[in-house]
C-alpha cells in the first residue's frame, strides 16, 4: 500500500472533494483532530469555508502534563477569536498518557519522524475515527500534515485504512501545500499563539534538549 500511495498528491485529492461539495452545495460535519492551535489555524481558516467543524483535541503524547492544558487553552482561545464561515466547536479528549507510553514501548529510542511517530499518528487518528463514527460525523481528518516534519503520506495511509475499519470518510490532505505552513505561522503571530518548539512528547522534548545542549 505504501508503494501505491507513494506519489499521490493529497492536496489534489482534497481539491476534488471540496469542488464536489461546492457543486452539490453540501456542508458536511468534520471531526478535525488537532495537535495545537498554531497547526489548526490555517486548517480552520481553510476548511471552515466548506465544513461545520468540531476540533478534537486528543493528544495523550504531550509532556509534561502542563503542556496538555496549555495547548488546550490556546486551542479554545483561537476557536473563540477566529472569524470563520461555518461553525467551529471544540471537544477535548481524555489525557491518556499511559496509553501513549504503552504504544511507545520498544521504540522509545527511535528518532523523531520514525516508527514511534507513525504509531502516535495512528493512536490519535484511531480515536478520531472512533468518535467520528460514534457521533455521526461525515468526515474525519487531522491537522498534523501541516508540519514539514510530519509524513503526510503515512498520515493519509493510516487515515484511509481507519476509514474502512470504522466506516466513516477520511478527508485526504496535505495542509502544508499551498503555503499552508507559512500561513499558519502568520496566523500564529496575528493571534499571539503559544508556539512550542518541540513536537510534544517526552522523547521529542529530550531530542530538542540534546540538540540545544549538544549532548
Q: What is the DSSP track for 36-77?
A: -HHHHHHHHHHHTTT-EEEEEE--TT-SSHHHHHHHHHHHHH
pLDDT score, position 155: 98
Give the pTM: 0.94
Overall average pLDDT of the 42-57 stretch: 98
With a CB cutoff of 8 Å and minimum separation 6, the contacts of 195 are 38, 188
pLDDT at 188 over 80: yes
Overall average pLDDT of the 5-14 stretch: 87
The fraction of the chain above a pLDDT of 70, given in percent, is 96
Element (H, E) at 170: strand 169-170
Tell me the fold of 14-213.
Rossmann fold (3.40.50)
| Rg of the chain on CA atoms, in Å | 17
pLDDT score, position 215: 57
In the numeric block, which cell numbers belong to residue 11? 492536496
pLDDT-based confidence at 42, cuts 50/70/90? very high
pLDDT at 6 over 70: no
List pLDDT tens digits, range 114-140: 999 999 999 999 999 999 999 999 999
pLDDT score, position 210: 78
Overall average pLDDT of the 172-179 stretch: 97
How far apart are the C-alpha atoms of 139 and 154, rounded to whole Å?
18
**Please, what is the angle between helix 180-191 and helix 65-81, to 10°?**
90
Amino acid at each position: 500500500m505504501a508503494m501505491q500511495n507513494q506519489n499521490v498528491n493529497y492536496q489534489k485529492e482534497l481539491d476534488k472533494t471540496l469542488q464536489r461539495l461546492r457543486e452539490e452545495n453540501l456542508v458536511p460535519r468534520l471531526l478535525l483532530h488537532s495537535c495545537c492551535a498554531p497547526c489548526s489555524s490555517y486548517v480552520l481558516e481553510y476548511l471552515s469555508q466548506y465544513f461545520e467543524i468540531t476540533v478534537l483535541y486528543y493528544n495523550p503524547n504531550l509532556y509534561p502534563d502542563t503542556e496538555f492544558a496549555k495547548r488546550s487553552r490556546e486551542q479554545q482561545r483561537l476557536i473563540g477569536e477566529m472569524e470563520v464561515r461555518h461553525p467551529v466547536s471544540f471537544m477535548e479528549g481524555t489525557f491518556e498518557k499511559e496509553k501513549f507510553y504503552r504504544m511507545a514501548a520498544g521504540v522509545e529510542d527511535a528518532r523523531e519522524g520514525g516508527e514511534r511517530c507513525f504509531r502516535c499518528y495512528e493512536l490519535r487518528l484511531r480515536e478520531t475515527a472512533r468518535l467520528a463514527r460514534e457521533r455521526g460525523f461525515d468526515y474525519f481528518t487531522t491537522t498534523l500534515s501541516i508540519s514539514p516534519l510530519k509524513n503526510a503520506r503515512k498520515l493519509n495511509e493510516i487515515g484511509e485504512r481507519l476509514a474502512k475499519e470504522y466506516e466513516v470518510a477520511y478527508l485526504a490532505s496535505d495542509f502544508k501545500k499551498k503555503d499552508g505552513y507559512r500561513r499558519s505561522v502568520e496566523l500564529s503571530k496575528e493571534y499571539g499563539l503559544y508556539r512550542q518548539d518541540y513536537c510534544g512528547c517526552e522523547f521529542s522534548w529530550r531530542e530538542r534538549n540534546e540538540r540545544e545542549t549538544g549532548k
